[in-house]
């Protein structure tokens, strides 16, 4: 039987590569958090990783499968998993610690406040892996213009964003948003493990070989996985797509079906 939540939280307090800023969950959400600047903001490479290399974030990292998997594939880059659910994060944090990985870190915070922890231009890439599609409210979607504006505050100009999802709704929404705003899109497929992998580069094939726990469950159910990679320039006003999108019949693996909903923007 795995460790319980309290034991996992106690472990991570002692982990040198896990950061849990004070008042993240309660104070920030209520607008009452301590406004003291985060010490590593703008200094992740200098003061934590102790070398200069591109920084890649995994937002909503869950167990950290992509954070750790990508760090193994690319030892010349630094990877930081971000999530508010510490008990899940413990898996990747423990695995990377036990392997002695020096290019991995984890940050426990709400993604809405991500620009508090990274300086402008400090991040080169962002991975968003299987987020809740948030079909009811656009501003909660991690690929919405609301969040993209936040990512602009920490990404280098033209920085790369990857979305991997099982949700037809979120994929269609993101595809339309990227298209509407003319964002450069090197990869865009609604069936990642279909013909797409035959035409992509060896490097991309290696990256996409990483599969999360839930992704394996979805594939076993016969669901297709969608993937979009696009670049986000600093200039330009981002607009939302003005199209009604059919909702998914489910939210995610092993969750109850939605009812009474037809379309949403």
- List residues with catalytic annotation: 132
Structure tokens belonging to residue 207 = 């990256």
CA 224/CA 222 separation, integer angstroms: 7
Decide if 128 contacts 164 (C-beta within 8 A): yes
Structure tokens belonging to residue 249 = 């019949």
The residues that bridge with 79 in the sheet, in sequence order, are 56, 104
In the three-class reduction of DSSP (H, G, I as helix; E, B as strand; rest coil), residue 151 is classed as: helix
CA 253/CA 96 separation, integer angstroms: 26
Structure tokens belonging to residue 189 = 């497929």
CA 124/CA 127 separation, integer angstroms: 11
In the three-class reduction of DSSP (H, G, I as helix; E, B as strand; rest coil), residue 225 is classed as: coil
In the three-class reduction of DSSP (H, G, I as helix; E, B as strand; rest coil), residue 61 is classed as: coil
Q: Is 221 exposed, middle or buried (0-12, 13-18, 19+ CB in 10 A)?
A: exposed
Torsion sign over Cα 131, 231, 115, 48: positive
């Amino acid at each position: 039987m795995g460790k319980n939540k309290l034991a996992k939280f106690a472990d991570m307090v002692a982990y040198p590569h896990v950061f849990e800023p004070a008042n993240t969950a309660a104070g920030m959400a209520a607008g009452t958090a301590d406004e003291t600047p985060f010490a590593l903001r703008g200094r992740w490479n200098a003061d934590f990783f102790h070398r200069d290399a591109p920084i890649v974030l995994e937002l909503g990292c869950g167990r950290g499968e992509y954070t750790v998997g990508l760090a193994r594939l690319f030892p010349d880059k630094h990877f930081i998993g971000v999530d508010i659910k510490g008990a899940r994060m413990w898996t990747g944090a423990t695995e990377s610690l036990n392997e002695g990985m020096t290019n991995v870190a984890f940050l426990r915070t709400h993604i809405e406040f991500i620009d508090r922890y990274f300086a402008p231009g400090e991040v080169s890439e962002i991975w968003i892996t299987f987020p809740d599609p948030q079909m009811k409210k656009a501003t909660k979607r991690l690929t919405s213009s609301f969040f993209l504006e936040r990512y602009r505050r920490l990404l280098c100009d033209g920085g790369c964003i990857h979305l991997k999802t099982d949700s037809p709704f979120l994929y269609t929404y993101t595809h339309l948003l990227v298209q509407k705003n003319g964002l450069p899109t090197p990869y865009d497929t609604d069936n990642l493990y279909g013909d797409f992998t035959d035409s992509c580069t060896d490097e991309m094939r290696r990256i996409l070989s990483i599969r999360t726990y839930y992704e394996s469950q979805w594939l076993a159910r016969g669901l297709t996985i969608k993937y979009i990679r696009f670049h986000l320039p600093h200039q330009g006003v981002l607009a939302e797509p003005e199209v009604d999108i059919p909702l998914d019949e489910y939210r995610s693996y092993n969750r109850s079906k939605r009812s009474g909903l037809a379309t949403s923007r």
